[in-house]
Amino acid sequence: MAGLQRLNEREMDRLAAYSIGVDEETVEGIVRAFDAVGVDVSERPTQLVDWVHADTLDLRWSADWPVYLSTRIWDHRVVITAEELRIYPPLGLGYD
């Protein structure tokens, strides 16, 4: 699998920003965020675990500790922070 290009969100068209709830698991947030942009993840030929391992998302997410994760999920670039998930258009690499 090819790596992602450097992240410059100002040059990217965002499809959605999804606020992660206080008691919401990041995995649940990802599924809900994709649902919000009209991607039915149950209809995809792959599952979330095929794109990112859930333990990877078990970071010390905190607004006081600025960290983000940028990855490809269902061919979309996804940026995850302590507060939100941002989904960008498909990367066009045929991985969905």
pLDDT tens for the chain, 96 residues long, are 455 555 666 666 778 888 888 888 888 888 889 988 888 888 888 888 888 887 777 666 666 777 778 888 988 889 888 788 899 888 765 433
- Looking at residue 70, what DSSP letter applies? E
CA distances from 65 to 38, 81, 83, 86, 87 (A): 31, 10, 11, 18, 22
Does pTM top 0.75 for this prediction?
Answer: no
How would you write 6-26 as a 3-class SS string?
CCCHHHCCCCEEEECCCCCCH
